[in-house]
A and B are shown apart, each in its own frame.
Chain A
């Protein structure tokens, strides 16, 4: 489970896009993970073949937990059906950049299961060759498939109390499901969240690994894990076979639709998709929900439109409320940390935008509507170039001090209409031309608003920007997103009197601000950075 921001300590696996035996290459999107903020597409960090999926959809696991094993490229897909007594290749994990992991085990055939361990490592293991044997926790548990173990953890079932029906008495997912159903009957309406003890017991890797990052701990599921509980029931055919051999039925659906379905208790498999390739959309889920509730309840009335106000579609319960509350908590955690730890300093500079905007207007007249460039692209490019000029504001402040970044990955604060904020990164913004930057920006805004982001976009911004000009705000003094060291704010572009060379004129002006980390830079360097932005903006043809 990759860390997708300073504010994240756990994530819920929503869906696998790969299955054991699939060949993957670096950058492929292999899974969908739900954080407090959004559903994020997780990219894989190396080439290889998917070994085993360790975390079933619906389960929430701490940051650093191995999600799957990956075997060296060219490996035959034997991992999909483990052979008796065979030891699986040691594996580098998917997703968690900071944590190397190895997993050994032939649980399927009855050897005592070895729980995946989390071994802290400075860098992602480049080769899945050296098994971190020392870090492997060898616990004597009831024999169970790893998937069943994970499943049990999600449902809060104690494996030691189960009798396995698999080969050699191994506990399978089916057994866990049966136990879960029995437990539900006995204790009606109890949230199937794991108790802290159980969570700790089945996640020894996180608990026992030495020098595990502070954020890495067993986290009991706080919210009712609807997807986890509903997942077995959602399987369309017959009793589910053991997970290792189980062909995952893949229902195409947008992340938003998926979340909505989980929140509304709608089975995606039963919803007909109207989206591209038959994908289930948010509207389909809503329609399905309405169809289900129509018989018992009058449709929720659309709130009367208040002129000048946003008109929310607050139908079908309030699934966005829970999402919004979680996002507020995430923002609260990150921003509180920032204000606790980062000694901010603040600078501002009025920039004359007359020339760059005139240049842009001319340029846009030559362009097709589809290639139009907004001032935002111009401003981002100038900022990225300035970050290259003054590297003191671009990078990360870690325990051992400031690490300037060679690359300029510009985080762009994007507000969500349903509330909240996400700041994904435009990679290498300094090296992209305006057309590319504009296309990237449009794509990023679109995917952020539909909550379809990729893991790298959330984890590696080297500096963040925020533009509140569209809201009419004249200046914004931001709070730095740790571990970054600067936040650049742009206000509204306004016509203002401007004195120059003893003359007064009306010019288009924008107030650019910098919130800088005084541990990493001083006001002088911050000032140079703002001046550099201004300088680059005055030469738009070079951007």
Chain B
């Protein structure tokens, strides 16, 4: 059932991996992709900043603070980053 590698699926994998590092006690791969990431993984503003910084480090994408609402769920986040990466 593995989808062919597209930039979006790679991005999803990356995001889940980065979230796993920010919240190692939680299972980032098991979250509801359409619900808020912060609530589900119980991460606070510092964890979230660490995630944004990790995204920047791995992809070069800078998510400004005003766009935080656009990366609040896994699906939104992947779409946002994939669009920026394209």
Contact = CB atoms under 8 A, between A and B. Distances in A.
Interface of A: 282, 302, 305, 307-313, 320, 361, 364-365, 368-370, 372, 374-376, 415-418, 441-442, 445-446, 449-450, 470
Contact of A442 (B24, B40, B43, B46): B46
Contacts of A309: 40
Given A312-B26, A364-B65, A307 B44 contact: no
A361 B45 contact: no
Given A311-B41, A370-B53, A442-B46, A305 B30 contact: yes
A361 B65 contact: yes
Task: State which size class the interface on B falls in.
Answer: 20 to 34
A31 to B, nearest CB: 25
B64 A310 contact: no
Interface of B: 23-27, 30-32, 35, 38-47, 49-50, 52-53, 56-57, 62-65
15 contacts: A302-B30, A305-B30, A308-B39, A308-B40, A310-B26, A311-B26, A311-B31, A361-B65, A369-B53, A372-B65, A374-B46, A442-B50, A449-B24, A449-B25, A470-B45
Nearest to A310: B42
B74 to A, nearest CB: 12
Contacts, number: 78
Contacts of B39: 308
Contact of A445 (B26, B27, B47): B47
Nearest to A283: B24
Given A305-B31, A311-B40, A372-B52, 7 more contacts: A302-B30, A312-B25, A312-B27, A369-B63, A370-B56, A442-B50, A445-B47
Contacts of A368: 62
A312 B31 CA distance: 11
Contacts of A310: 26, 40-42
Contact of B49 (A313, A365, A442, A450): A442
Nearest to A314: B27
Nearest to A361: B65
Given A372-B65, A470-B44, A313 B26 contact: yes
A65 to B, nearest CB: 32
Contacts of B25: 312-313, 320, 416-418, 449
